[in-house]
């Protein structure tokens, strides 16, 4: 069952205007200030209104060490609450003194509203239950305000009874199915779990993970395969590939019917945005003039390494190999990147670096998060992956960008694509949405939503960046000039592949195609509009900043690995309630937007 019993509490009042922060980005060679934008910032054109963070982060917020006194207190409070619930035989907790045996704390995080969220993996008879979690939400007074999680009854014995197969047996079965090499630096893993199969029944099983992102042969694509092998029969219960990518997995392309002419390189926009400081002297392929943060080397050259944001942002050359490895960087003699005289290989790198910087800044200034792990995690990008590679992907540790083939796509290093791929890392570090079924569609949607958010954010500071509701349009089919895109959040059905309403989910369960349901819900929330399939209209929206905050809070604190679309609706309602109050216009718009896409 789905637990979302919200206990009565006073709504959290929105932060007053007096509490707003402004953001800062320093010119090259200067230290970057810890907060906000200033009117003279190197990214702020005089004609643009800067984005401001309306919920300043308190110093004590963010992930807590599980061993810390504060985290231990929150964990114990959560366990005590669960134990009390177990007296009714409810909540999936075994009656008796066993709450601590039914869950294992994974993370504790304190947010800007003073709430603390304890994320716990479910266990049964000492064995992890794959994909099932409980999240305990403590209010400012340290009391449990609500619980979130998917729980159902598991038969006795699945964890404690002996099984017929070993982890090595399961690994051999999965490797036969995988039929290929695995990365030397990512050895196969085989973990004993309990998993719910496609038939809805629970099984004693092994979770085997096999990865191949290197030395790919022929037309093989990188994979991060997850196999679930029955620990007694050896049956392959289910499998999925956690490796996404920006391109749709189909033969037909968006904008079919548009004639493709001679491949061309995307041109720099003719009206670059020049900040008030005049420091934007780096030329991108897709975003006009920008000011990159770089590092001066001992030989007086400069590298695409930003040490001013979190634990750093760095961009490397994959040298057109199928394996993105090594640390071959890009250098420039005068720190003016993208000049006509510069090495052509640095062009895509400039955009990838800028995309990572804007993603980091959007996370911090709008979402209140310090990089992927909220601890400043270093953002690493590789460009020039493989040859004519029409895709980009997050591989669990870094971003990988192809150059495109010059026909279907140019270099896939646009702002929204960069934000999309990096945000797969954000999802992994938070809810961990499993990349199959409804949770997989939500996983893809979250990347589209935050990728579009990065483009919107950058457009507030750089007039060359044109914000729209398309995904990857600047890189996609650069030769035909039609402005077509990989996906369309305002009308997901426009790509001829995606669905925009839950009633059509049975027709399209592939994760990129089903992402249109949540994509359109977000569009309607932020912008307002009409869902094409249902005809239901949402009058006006809450704006991008509020929309992003709501969806981020839902992802980080109210979603679990196997969240469904219906549960995502509730997660965003909970998030909006925390931020703006239960009777707020924002909560009503969240409800209207999901109803319009058929999720009630």
DSSP 352-364: HHHHHHHHHHHII
Please give the pLDDT value at position 264: 31
Beta strands per DSSP E along 82-215: 103-110, 116-124, 127-138, 144-150, 189-196, 202-212
Listed in sequence order, the residues at least 6 apart from 8 whose beta carbon sits closer than 8 Å to its beta carbon are none
Please give the pLDDT value at position 93: 52
Residue 320: closest CA among 398, 411, 223, 389: 389
CA 214 to chain centroid, in Å, comes to: 23
- What does the block give as tokens for 487? 């996906």
- What does the block give as tokens for 25? 């980005």
Give, in order, the Cα–Cα distances in Å from 544 to each of 366, 509, 549. Answer: 10, 27, 8
- What does the block give as tokens for 444? 């893809």
Please give the pLDDT value at position 90: 57
- What does the block give as tokens for 552? 């981020």
Q: How far apart are CA 598 and CA 123, in angstroms?
A: 34
Give, in order, the Cα–Cα distances in Å from 87 to each of 95, 103, 135. Answer: 6, 16, 19
How far the first Cα of the chain sits from its last, in Å, is 16
- What does the block give as tokens for 70? 């504060």
Helix axes 565-580, 437-459, angle to 10 degrees: 40
Q: Is there a contact between 294 and 311 (Cβ–Cβ < 8 Å)?
A: no
Residue 10's CB is within 10 A of a number of other CB atoms, namely 9
Listed in sequence order, the residues at least 6 apart from 338 whose beta carbon sits closer than 8 Å to its beta carbon are 268, 282, 283, 284, 285, 346, 347, 350
Listed in sequence order, the residues at least 6 apart from 511 whose beta carbon sits closer than 8 Å to its beta carbon are 244, 435, 436, 440, 441, 443, 444
Please give the pLDDT value at position 240: 93
Strand partners, 303: 295, 331
CA 548 to chain centroid, in Å, comes to: 12
The backbone torsions φ and ψ at residue 144, rounded to the nearest 5 degrees and listed phi first, read: -65, 120
Instruction: Cite the DSSP H helix spans in 151-301.
Output: 167-178
Please give the pLDDT value at position 521: 98
Exposure on the CB side of residue 242, measured as CA atoms within 13 A: 22
Exposure on the CB side of residue 502, measured as CA atoms within 13 A: 19
Q: Which pTM was predicted?
A: 0.85
Please give the pLDDT value at position 480: 65
Please give the pLDDT value at position 3: 38
Please give the pLDDT value at position 60: 74
Please give the pLDDT value at position 151: 72
Tell me: the pLDDT tens digits for 553-573?
A: 999 999 999 999 999 999 999
Tell me: the pLDDT tens digits for 461-517?
A: 999 999 999 999 999 887 666 778 999 999 999 999 999 999 999 999 999 999 999
- What does the block give as tokens for 498? 């995606």
Q: How far apart are CA 314 and CA 311, in angstroms?
A: 10
* Cα angle 374-297-358, degrees, rounded to a multiple of 5: 35
Report, as ranges of residue numbers, the positions in the chain whose pLDDT lies below 70.
Answer: 1-59, 87-98, 150, 215-220, 247-278, 479-481
Q: How far apart are CA 195 and CA 203, in angstroms?
A: 5
Just list the catalytic residues.
Answer: 421, 512
Look at the chain and count its residues.
Answer: 600
Give, in order, the Cα–Cα distances in Å from 147 to each of 8, 66, 120, 303. Answer: 13, 19, 11, 47
Q: Is there a contact between 137 and 547 (Cβ–Cβ < 8 Å)?
A: no
Q: How far apart are CA 356 and CA 369, in angstroms?
A: 14
DSSP 376-433: ---EEEEEEESSS---EEE-SSSEEEE---SSSBS-S--HHHHHHHHHHHHHHHTT--
Composition of the chain by helix, strand, coil, percent to 5: 30, 20, 50
- What does the block give as tokens for 455? 């483009």
Q: Is there a contact between 236 and 242 (Cβ–Cβ < 8 Å)?
A: no
Q: How far apart are CA 362 and CA 419, in angstroms?
A: 9
């Amino acid at each position: 069952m789905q637990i979302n019993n919200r206990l009565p509490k006073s709504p959290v009042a929105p932060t007053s205007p007096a509490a707003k922060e402004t953001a800062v980005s320093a010119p090259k060679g200067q230290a970057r200030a810890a907060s906000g934008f200033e009117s003279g910032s190197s990214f702020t054109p005089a004609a643009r209104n800067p984005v401001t963070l309306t919920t300043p982060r308190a110093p004590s917020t963010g992930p807590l060490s599980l061993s810390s006194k504060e985290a231990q207190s929150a964990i114990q409070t959560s366990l005590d609450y669960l134990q009390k619930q177990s007296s009714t035989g409810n909540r999936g907790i075994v009656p008796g003194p066993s709450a601590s045996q039914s869950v294992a704390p994974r993370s504790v995080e304190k947010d800007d509203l003073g709430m603390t969220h304890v994320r716990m993996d479910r266990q049964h008879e000492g064995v992890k239950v794959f994909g099932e979690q409980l999240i305990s939400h403590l209010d400012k007074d340290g009391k449990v305000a609500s619980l979130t999680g998917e729980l159902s009854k598991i038969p006795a014995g699945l964890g404690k009874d002996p099984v017929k197969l070993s982890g090595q047996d399961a690994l051999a079965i999965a490797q036969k199915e995988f039929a290929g090499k695995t990365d030397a630096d990512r050895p196969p893993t085989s973990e004993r779990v309990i998993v719910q199969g496609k038939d809805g029944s629970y099984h004693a099983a092994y979770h085997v993970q096999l990865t191949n992102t290197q030395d790919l042969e022929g037309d093989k694509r990188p994979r991060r395969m997850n196999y679930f092998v029955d620990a007694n029969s050896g049956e392959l219960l289910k499998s999925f590939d956690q490796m996404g990518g920006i391109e749709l997995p189909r033969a037909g392309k968006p904008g079919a019917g548009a004639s493709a002419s001679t491949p061309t390189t995307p041109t720099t926009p003719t009206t670059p945005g020049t900040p008030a400081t005049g420091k934007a002297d780096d030329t991108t392929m897709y975003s006009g003039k920008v000011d990159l943060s770089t590092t001066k080397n001992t030989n007086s050259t400069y590298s695409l390494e930003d040490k001013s944001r979190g634990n750093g942002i760095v961009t490397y050359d994959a040298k057109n190999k199928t394996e993105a490895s090594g640390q071959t960087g890009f250098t420039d003699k005068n720190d003016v990147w993208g000049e006509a005289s510069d090495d052509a290989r640095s062009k895509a790198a400039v955009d990838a670096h800028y995309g990572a910087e804007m993603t980091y800044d959007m996370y911090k200034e709008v979402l209140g998060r310090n990089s992927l792990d909220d601890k400043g995690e270093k953002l690493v990008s590789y460009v020039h992956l493989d040859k004519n590679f029409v895709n980009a992907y997050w591989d669990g540790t870094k971003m990988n960008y192809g150059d495109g083939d010059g026909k279907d796509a140019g270099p896939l290093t646009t702002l929204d694509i960069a934000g999309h791929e990096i945000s797969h890392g954000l999802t992994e570090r938070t809810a961990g949405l499993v990349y199959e079924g409804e949770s997989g569609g939500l996983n893809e949607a979250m990347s589209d939503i935050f990728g579009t958010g990065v483009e919107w954010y950058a457009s507030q500071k750089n007039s060359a960046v044109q914000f729209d509701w398309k995904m990857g349009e600047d890189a996609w089919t650069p030769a035909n000039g039609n402005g077509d895109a990989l996906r369309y959040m305002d009308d997901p059905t426009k790509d001829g592949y995606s669905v925009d309403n839950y009633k059509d989910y049975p027709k399209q369960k592939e994760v990129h195609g089903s992402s249109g349901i949540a994509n359109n819900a977000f569009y309607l929330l932020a912008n307002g509009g009409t869902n094409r399939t249902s005809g239901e209209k949402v009058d006006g929206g809450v704006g991008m900043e509020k929309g992003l905050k709501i969806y981020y809070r839902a992802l980080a604190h109210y979603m679990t690995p196997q969240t469904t679309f219906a549960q995502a609706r509730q997660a965003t309602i909970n998030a909006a309630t925390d931020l703006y109050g239960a009777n707020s216009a924002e909560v009503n718009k969240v409800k209207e937007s999901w109803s319009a896409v058929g999720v009630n």
